[in-house]
Amino acid sequence: MTVKFPSPEWLQTLYEKLNSDERYAQIARKWEGDILVVIEPSGPLNEKLFYYLDLWHGKCRKTEILKDLPSIKPKFILTSNYENISHIMKNKLDPMQAMLTRKLQVHGSMAYMMRNVPTVLDFVRCAREVTTEILS
Amino acid sequence: MQPILKVNLTTGETSEYIIPIEWERDYIGGASLAARMLYPILTADLDPFSPESPLLFLNGPLSGTAGPTVGRFVVCGKSPATRLWAESNCGGFWGPELRFCGYDGLWITGKARKPVYLWLNDGQLTFRDAAAVWGKDTYEAQSVIKSDIGVPGIHVLTIGPAGEKGVKFAGMYCDHGRAAGRTGLGSVAGSKNLKAIAVKGTKKIPLTHPIDFAPLRSASNRFLREDTVSQVIHELGTAGIANYSDYLGGTPKKYYHQGIFEGVDKVSGSAMAETILTGVSACHACVVACGRVVRLEDGEKRKGPEYETIIGFGPNFLNDDLAVIVRLGEICDRLGMDTISASNIIGLAYHLFEKGIISEQDIGFALRWGEMSGVEKLLNLMARREGIGNIMADGSRQFGAHFGAEDEAVQVNGLEVAYHDPRGVSGMALVYATSPRGACHNKSDYFLVDWGQADTSIGVQFIGRQAGAEKSANVAHHQDWRSVCDSLVMCLFGNVPAEMVAGLVNAACGYDYNVNDLLRCGERGWNLKRIINNRMGLTSSNDKLPKALLQPLADGPAAGYVPPLEEMLTAYYQARGWDPETGKPTPKKLAELGLEWVAQDIWK
């Protein structure tokens, strides 16, 4: 099955992956908090996308495509443009490299983020693994 | 640049030294310019503790402005620990205040007949009796001198008891606990009977194009405020990196001999932020504010430790008690000793004790990993050169050698290795082996590049963290850029794009430099320091790593790996244009950098 990023089908497939992946369940077992991935338009993407994921103890409780920033602020907001995000999805850009080189902005508790980087990296692994095609 | 104030402590004479304009253009300022100024003086037979031995305090062209993270100064000379080039830079407000006095530097030689401190009030320098503060710790000395002078807004740079006693890793301290910690220049000040330097100025910082400078510095500070790395450092301090460093196997434990210690999480910047942190502190005009303010059980507010101190007194001893680390860091600051070297040397004592090379008879008490009372006792013994502390005060190389175990000391050329393990981040292997001041992590914080902070605008690519010779040229580029930062004197935590830095330098100095021009200045400074060291006896055989870092760890994220140092060095010499046999810059490279004038000194 083709799962094209970004799309509602892709987000649904990621939801299923996060709830079935044993490695993610183990690494993210202590993670508590929702994240919003904000993808700024660039290249082939013409609109701003807001992908919401409620992550809890190694599982994903909910995903949603929002039209704007939610009224209740999620624990983390990760913002980047589509070009950088697609490079991350294609494994051409390491997520930490993106953060360290100003290609990915992170808003939220840095204390929580810095002690849970392995969870974020494994979340990205899952996202990469469900992606079979990328908008180009 | 403004003049440099020369002070002879023996005669009491002072004079103004004007920096040749071409040196300003070629070396920018700070450490590289200091290398050019001190080049004729730093010779193999110069005794670092002799009156002739210089202490040169320099600022950079951005120091004291409201530019991004440019509140630092550097002090340079010859290190008593390494007997090589010495430089150590320091934040706070002292450097900018010196510039407000109308001087971009202080060049001190000679030896006072009795302990003195200097008081520079705008342009006026006076020598003052330091009898009342000699023997006092750095916090007390700052406080007493401030009230002695009685002028508001004074900033005091001082040594502690360790500097007075000639401890070879003694530093200089200002603005409470801001430290020029490395290479032992505090003991050089002590050897001159110079306790402190107090400064207060009112003059304006000279800028060639102030109208161009203002929007650039606003934009760069705005940039820093929005930068995620800066936010991490602001919220968590430099120890915010501890968890991730540990995850990648870059955090040493048990004196570099163990790969796993669960307690890292309890002492990280995140843990500090969630427990004892009560506020932050910043250097002059800095928007990052990496300094920590913490409160322990006694209710008193204290300086909180940064990454190196946390790892040095934490996982290095298998200690996970953050409050103990805070107290040990404060003891070092008060006594005036570098926390990296001090914790490393005591780590060596624990290691030698475990191996049975030293015993309770040698020390006076037992040393067991995780038991920290021994660390506190040894800190005090070292600072006062009492008992075993007298041997340890000469540094880990001499301490190990005294017991026939020099190769157990985790040091390079006499400077103790900082807390970024090259088995987890291999770029640090080259950084430690080739740094001009011994095993320094700041001449290139390449561990960040190994994590992904690869800035292509300075020619640095992201290569795997345990890669080998393929990253050698990258390391050289990064060292050149950090050499630029050391010239400015700009904090490494100012994650500002290189183009922005070039714009600020041009507006401040009236140059038309691009990033490559700056890199060329950095490369020139790096090579000149190398040549100074070559002249003082350094050869390619000094470019090495200690035994511990060339043995694989049995466990943890870096288990089984050792950096291929020889291959990396071969590629590094090639990238640098250095002779593969001697490790000296070739005549061709010297000509490229406009350094032909030193060729006869190293190629006789």
The residue count for chain B: 604
CA distance A120 to chain B (A): 12
Q: What pLDDT is attached to residue B552? A: 98
Q: Using CA atoms, how far apart are residues B26 and B33, in angstroms rounded to an integer?
A: 8
**Whether pLDDT at A1 is above 80:** no
Which residues of A lie inside 8 Å of B (Cβ-Cβ)? 94, 96-102, 104-106, 109-115, 117-118
- What lies within 8 Å, CB to CB, of B60 at 6+ separation is B28, B29, B30, B70, B487, B488, B489, B490
* B14, B325, B328, B345 from B389: Cα distances, Å: 38, 20, 16, 10
Beta strand pairing call for A133-134 and A4-5: parallel
Which of A94, A102, A114 is closest, CB to CB, to B240? A114
Does residue B320 sit in helix, strand or coil?
A: coil
* A94·B462 Cβ contact <8 A: yes
- DSSP assignment of B160-208 equals -HHHHTT-TTB-EEETTTEEE-GGGHHHHHHHTTEEEEEEE--PPPP-S
Task: For B265, name the nearest residue in chain A, comparing CA atoms only.
Answer: A115
pLDDT in tens, B2-20: 999 999 999 999 999 999 9
pLDDT in tens, B287-341: 999 999 999 999 999 999 999 999 999 999 999 999 999 999 999 999 999 999 9
Q: Using CA atoms, how far apart are residues B560 and B571, in angstroms rounded to an integer?
A: 23
Does residue A65 sit in helix, strand or coil?
A: strand
Q: What pLDDT is attached to residue A81? A: 98
Task: For B462, name the nearest residue in chain A, comparing CA atoms only.
Answer: A97
Q: Using CA atoms, how far apart are residues A24 and A18, in angstroms rounded to an integer?
A: 7
CA distance A126 to chain B (A): 19
Q: Using CA atoms, how far apart are residues B183 and B186, in angstroms rounded to an integer?
A: 9
- What lies within 8 Å, CB to CB, of B28 at 6+ separation is B60, B61, B484, B487, B488, B505, B509, B518, B521, B525
Distance of CA B516 to the CA centre of its chain: 25
B472-488 and B515-535 helices cross at what angle (nearest 10)? 90
Does residue B74 sit in helix, strand or coil?
A: strand
pLDDT classification of A78: cutoffs 50, 70, 90: very high
For chain B (length 604 residues), average pLDDT per consecutive 10? 97 98 98 98 98 98 96 98 98 98 98 98 97 98 98 97 98 97 98 98 97 97 92 96 96 98 97 97 96 96 97 98 98 98 98 98 97 98 98 98 98 98 98 97 96 93 95 98 98 92 98 98 98 97 98 98 98 98 97 97 90
Size of interface A-B (CB pairs under 8 A): 68
Q: Using CA atoms, how far apart are residues B339 and B349, in angstroms rounded to an integer?
A: 15
Is the distance from CB of B586 to CB of B579 less than 8 angstroms? yes
The sign of the CA dihedral B455, B459, B461, B467 is negative
Residue type, B154: I
Q: Using CA atoms, how far apart are residues B388 and B363, in angstroms rounded to an integer?
A: 6
* A96·B451 Cβ contact <8 A: yes
Residue type, B393: A
Q: What pLDDT is attached to residue A70? A: 85
Is the distance from CB of A114 to CB of B269 less than 8 angstroms? yes
Q: Using CA atoms, how far apart are residues B472 and B524, in angstroms rounded to an integer?
A: 18
Q: Using CA atoms, how far apart are residues B110 and A49, in angstroms rounded to an integer?
A: 67
Beta strands in B201-306 (DSSP E): 277-281, 291-295, 301-304
| Residue among B222, B227, B228 with most chain A CBs within 10 A, to mutate | B228
Is the distance from CB of B344 to CB of B374 less than 8 angstroms? no
Beta strands in B445-485 (DSSP E): none
A chain contacts of residue B229, beta-carbon cutoff 8 Å? 99-100, 102
Beta strand pairing call for B116-121 and B105-109: unpaired
Q: Using CA atoms, how far apart are residues B488 and B505, in angstroms rounded to an integer?
A: 8
Which residues of B lie inside 8 Å of A (Cβ-Cβ)? 226-229, 231-232, 235-236, 240-241, 243-244, 247, 265, 268-271, 273-274, 448, 451-455, 462, 495
Beta strands in chain A (DSSP E): 4-5, 32-40, 49-56, 59-66, 76-81, 105-108, 133-134
- Which 3-state string (H, E, C) describes B117-148? EEEEECCEEEEEECCCCCCCCHHHHHHHHHHH
Q: Using CA atoms, how far apart are residues A81 and A104, in angstroms rounded to an integer?
A: 8
Structure tokens at A70: 């939610």
CA distance B269 to chain A (A): 7
- What lies within 8 Å, CB to CB, of B471 at 6+ separation is B426, B427, B430, B463, B568
